[in-house]
Structure 1
Amino acid sequence: MKAMQEKLYLELRETEEELINGLMKRESNDWLTSFLKEELFDVRAAIAKIQKGNFGECEISGELLPEELLKILPTLKSEKDFHQIGSFYKKPYESMFFYR
């Protein structure tokens, strides 16, 4: 997972810069500005987790989240968040990441 974290760290830093630049260009404080700020907060939280060495841990249970899922959504905080995201998908996806 170390190599994956290094790659994600670089991607997250790049995303952080893009979000900061996007926010600096915004002239109004609308729904998109709020969304960009929330996303920046999540990206910075993921970066901090990588730096602290607890990236990929579920914030609720402490268990490791599936690596393949973190590659897709590195700002994921918990398995609960993952299941909430599922309400936006039309096809079943949970079996790809969580085996019960």
Structure 2
Amino acid sequence: MEANLQKLYSELRTIKNELLESLIHEKCSPEIAPIVEEELKDIEETLEKIEAGKFGLCEFSGQLIPDAYLYMVPTIKSIEDVNEINRYYCKPIFS
């Protein structure tokens, strides 16, 4: 694994453990727990993609997701998600 990907992998594992700890020890409110569980699921799926060598590929088309988006949201899943992010920016990410 390249250095940046290894660093991301390590950070995601740390976040995963922190989220698990919050859920196990009920450190988050019942209203927040489903959101934490969903984030945990996204992180686990991203870790699996990294391990399988499929990180950064759209889940539907197999197209590469631009690095700028992966940097902002490493759990991004598809080009459709990229288009959704672009709807919220006043200026395009790429010129």
Q: Same fold (TM over 0.5)?
A: yes
Q: TM-score, normalised by structure 2?
A: 0.84
What is the count of residue pairs matched by the alignment?
A: 95
Q: Which amino acid aligns with 2:93?
A: M
More helix by share: 1
| 4+ long deviations beyond 6 Å | none
Q: Which runs of 5+ in 1 are unaligned?
A: none
Tell me what 1:26 maps to: 26
Q: TM-score, normalised by structure 1?
A: 0.80
Report the Cα offset of residue 28 of structure 1: 7.6
Q: Which runs of 5+ in 2 are unaligned?
A: none
What's the C-alpha RMSD, in Å, of the aligned pairs? 2.2
Tell me what 1:79 maps to: 79
Higher RCO structure, 1 or 2 (CA under 8 Å, sep 6+): 1
Tell me what 1:40 maps to: 40
Aligned-residue identity in percent = 37
Report the Cα offset of residue 2 of structure 1: 2.6
